[in-house]
Structure 1
Amino acid sequence: MTITSTTSAASFIALRPGFWRVVHPAGHVLGYIEEARSVGAHHFAARRLVSNTTRLVEIGDFASFDSARACFA
């Protein structure tokens, strides 16, 4: 699944199939969304970048890209 989209809050840039960078309108990286497949289903893991660090914090796993994207709104 390839998704590149923009909302008023953030842009979602596909870096590779199933992996997106979330970018604030000002240009700084907010986090990442990664698609993971398991037997018969897939989910989207959202991770937020801690401000002024390189550390990622797990936000959660979601059934759809739109649900994971809403975390960054």
Structure 2
Amino acid sequence: MSAVIGARTSGTPLLAPRTRMRLVAAAPALWRVLEPGGRVIGHLQTVTQAGGIRFRARRYNPATHAFRDLGDFWSADDAVESLMSAR
């Protein structure tokens, strides 16, 4: 059985070793995405769909005081990448 990065059904999603970001639990199925210095850049949320688990990237917008969904991704790495590029 081979492991697929980011394809976990419970617990903290796995990120590729090259990723410098880390995940900290915020609620069930929700994690804060932190830069190496500890600054939160957004949230990663697991969403169960018919095809399996998806990873939703959510970015905080200070102007509206609300989160903006950046999309649902098949891998946690892709979702975190979208948060990093949405700065």
- Report the TM-score when normalising by structure 2: 0.61
Question: Percent identity among equivalent residues?
Answer: 31
Match of 1:3 in 2: 12
Structure 2 gaps of 5+ residues are 1-9
Contact between 1:35 and 1:42, CA under 8 Å: does it hold in 2? yes
Q: What is the CA distance between 1:42 and its match in structure 2?
A: 2.1
Larger CA Rg, structure 1 vs 2:
2
CA distance in 2, matches of 1:14, 1:62: 19
Aligned counterpart in structure 1 of residue 59 of structure 2, from 44, 48, 51: 48
Structure 1 gaps of 5+ residues are none
Aligned counterpart in structure 2 of residue 34 of structure 1, from 42, 45, 54: 45
Contact between 1:2 and 1:14, CA under 8 Å: does it hold in 2? no
**Poorly superposed stretches of 4+, deviation over 3 Å:** 4-7, 51-54
- How many residues are aligned here? 72
More strand per residue: 1 or 2? 1
Q: 1:23 to 1:54 in 2, by over 3 A?
A: farther
Q: CA RMSD in A?
A: 2.6
Give the SS at the match of 2:58.
Answer: strand
